[in-house]
Amino acid sequence: MKFYPEKCRIKDERMKPFIDPDELWDYINNTRQDPVRVRETIAKSLDKQRLTLEETALLINATDTDLVEEIKQGARDLKKKIYGNRIVLFAPLYIGNKCTNNCKYCGFRASNKEAIRKTLSDEEIVKEIEALEDNGQKRLILVYGEHPEYDADYIAHTVRIAYSVKKGHGEIRRVNINAAPLDIEGFRKVKQAGIGTYQIFQETYHPEVYRMYHLGGKKKDYDWRLTALDRAQEAGLDDVGIGALFSLYDWRFEVMGLVRHTNHLEACYNVGPHTISFPRVQSAAMLDFEGKYLVSDADFAKLVAILRLAVPYTGMILTARENAALRKEVIQYGVSQIDGGTKLELGSYSQSLNQEQDLNREQFKINDDRSLNEVIDELLENDFLPSFCTACYRLGRTGEHFMEFSVPGFIKRFCTANAILTLTEYLVDYAPEETAKKGWKTIEENLIKLEGFQDVREIRNRIERIKQGERDLYF
């Protein structure tokens, strides 16, 4: 096995590609199943230390059923220990589906001539956001195809619209982005518009497989995409999200790629990604993929648990691509953010479209189409604390200056307290009676647990102020 020193990586130069497929495969192929070391590795992670590539491969190679259970239990324990029981909620908003690329897995690909192309007008964006606010959403991720129309100025423009829309007590307090890679100047522009996270998925970290799936347009360029978040960092945008589209290639390799990407950002910029996403390919118009690497539900649960342990301090996002039952299971292994009330069809939050789901109107098919309130109901029933908190980024607690993880008691003092306050707003403004009953009970239970960590009297005081009409109170 080759030796790749983790600490003094000459390969980790700023703005330079950093994936060496042989390196990643070497780790996977030459790290043997070893129960003792697996347990030590889980313990290291529970001690809040990020895992090395070799340790990640060790977990990947653990196939014994009991050992996999221990990995999952480790992820559950870590989630409880670090993140508590809160789950942050958001919704995606598709702004435009014009696209010059030809990704073989995506319904928006340029060669799909049946796709109904649309870019929301400014007025339509306002309507969509009002509808989202009416449901109680506070955090959005705006999504765009890759097209000259959707340049940095346009993205910044739509972000500003999103922040400007206020309806009743409704407002959007954090706007994240999922769009094509920009140049440094472009990232600067969107940062100035006040975005939260800029999310770009590498899709597959394997360069040759990447080439097979990306047939045209700018997205063909693997390196341009791989170094995108370096350019974001160079532009001062230190809040970035990475991801891989699972099922395109061997899931074990993609997990290693995600950890390698994390190492790279840490080595060069002293800050890891804010979030990791792990979508699996879903059915889409003109979907053209072999299915050779389809990730089973069991492997999916395992890989989520491994990612949780490998990068203990990074947020993990699980989307409505997965069905409700699977989401319910996988959330336990370390997920910190989910979407609720998701609709992918352009303009569909504000219109009640009676037509059948039509793949030519959507990028891919989602499998969890429950309303935000239904998602919240289930979270409450399972002792999770739904949160719409946006405090950290608004108080500048991002990037290397802040890792919620590294400050003792931080989660309880700030995250849980803010989750309670934002849930209070939801219960007062939007929840039906039954949900409100469950919500108040959850709030009481969590307040009791906060004794000794936060001034519970002050939280109660703020809950009363919210009931009296004040909003946006946070720690």
**Contacting residues toward ligand SAM, per CB under 6 A:** 105-106, 143, 145-146, 178-180, 200-201, 203, 245, 279, 281-282, 284, 321, 363-364
Q: Rule CB under 6 A: is residue 219 a binding residue for ligand SF4? A: yes
Q: Which is nearer to ligand SF4, 45 or 277 (CB)?
A: 277
Smallest gap from residue 315 Cβ to ligand SF4 (A):
22
Angle at 402 between CA 412 and CA 171, to 5 degrees: 70
3-class DSSP state of 123 = helix
3-class DSSP state of 65 = helix
136, 372 in Cβ contact below 8 A? yes
Structure tokens at 384: 């999770």
Smallest gap from residue 145 Cβ to ligand SF4 (A):
4
Residue 201 contact partner, candidates ligand SAM, ligand SF4, none, CB within 5 to 8 A by sort of partner: ligand SAM
Torsion from C-alpha of 187, 229, 365, 94, nearest 10 degrees: -10
Residue nearest to ligand SAM (CB): 364
Smallest gap from residue 205 Cβ to ligand SF4 (A):
16
Q: Rule CB under 6 A: is residue 79 a binding residue for ligand SF4? A: no
375, 341 in Cβ contact below 8 A? yes
246, 281 in Cβ contact below 8 A? yes
Q: Rule CB under 6 A: is residue 145 a binding residue for ligand SF4? A: yes
Residue 321 contact partner, candidates ligand SAM, ligand SF4, none, CB within 5 to 8 A by sort of partner: ligand SAM
Smallest gap from residue 145 Cβ to ligand SAM (A):
5
Q: Rule CB under 6 A: is residue 228 a binding residue for ligand SF4? A: no
Q: Which is nearer to ligand SAM, 106 or 427 (CB)?
A: 106
Q: Which is nearer to ligand SF4, 109 or 274 (CB)?
A: 109
Structure tokens at 475: 């720690």
Residue 292 CB neighbours (<10 A): 9
Q: Which is nearer to ligand SF4, 109 or 173 (CB)?
A: 109
What is the rounded distance in angstroms from the CA atom of residue 299 to the CA atom of residue 60? 10
Residue 119 contact partner, candidates ligand SAM, ligand SF4, none, CB within 5 to 8 A by sort of partner: none
Going from the C-alpha of 280 to that of each of 120, 208, 283, 300, the distances in angstroms are 27, 19, 10, 9
Structure tokens at 352: 């009640």
Smallest gap from residue 97 Cβ to ligand SAM (A):
8
Q: Which is nearer to ligand SF4, 228 or 305 (CB)?
A: 228
Q: Which helix (H) or strand (E) holds 194?
A: none
3-class DSSP state of 185 = helix
Q: Which is nearer to ligand SF4, 219 or 302 (CB)?
A: 219
Single-letter amino acid, residue 337? Q
Q: Which is nearer to ligand SAM, 188 or 214 (CB)?
A: 214
Q: Rule CB under 6 A: is residue 473 a binding residue for ligand SF4? A: no
What is the rounded distance in angstroms from the CA atom of residue 167 to the CA atom of residue 379? 26
Smallest gap from residue 187 Cβ to ligand SAM (A):
14
Q: What is the DSSP string of 290-304?
A: --TTPPPHHHHHHHH
Smallest gap from residue 261 Cβ to ligand SAM (A):
14
Torsion from C-alpha of 461, 465, 470, 475, nearest 10 degrees: 10
Q: Which is nearer to ligand SF4, 147 or 302 (CB)?
A: 147
Smallest gap from residue 364 Cβ to ligand SAM (A):
3
142, 93 in Cβ contact below 8 A? yes
What is the rounded distance in angstroms from the CA atom of residue 336 to the CA atom of residue 87? 5
Residue 109 contact partner, candidates ligand SAM, ligand SF4, none, CB within 5 to 8 A by sort of partner: ligand SF4
Measured on CA atoms in the order 318, 324, 330, 334, is the torsion positive or negative? positive
Structure tokens at 2: 């080759």
Residue 209 contact partner, candidates ligand SAM, ligand SF4, none, CB within 5 to 8 A by sort of partner: none
**Of residues 93-132, which lie at the interface with ligand SF4 (CB under 6 A)?**
99, 101, 103, 106, 108-109
Q: Rule CB under 6 A: is residue 155 a binding residue for ligand SF4? A: no
Q: Which helix (H) or strand (E) holds 261?
A: helix 251-269
Q: Which residues pair with 444 in a beta bridge?
A: none
Q: Rule CB under 6 A: is residue 435 a binding residue for ligand SF4? A: no
List the one residue out of 307, 270, 274 whose CA is nearest residue 79: 307
Binding residues for ligand SF4, how many (CB under 6 A)?
Answer: 9
Residue 70 contact partner, candidates ligand SF4, ligand SAM, none, CB within 5 to 8 A by sort of partner: none
Q: Which is nearer to ligand SAM, 57 or 237 (CB)?
A: 237
Q: What are phi and psi of 321, to 5 degrees?
A: -60, -35
Smallest gap from residue 318 Cβ to ligand SAM (A):
13
Residue 143 contact partner, candidates ligand SF4, ligand SAM, none, CB within 5 to 8 A by sort of partner: ligand SAM
Residues that bind ligand SF4 (CB under 6 A): 99, 101, 103, 106, 108-109, 145-146, 219
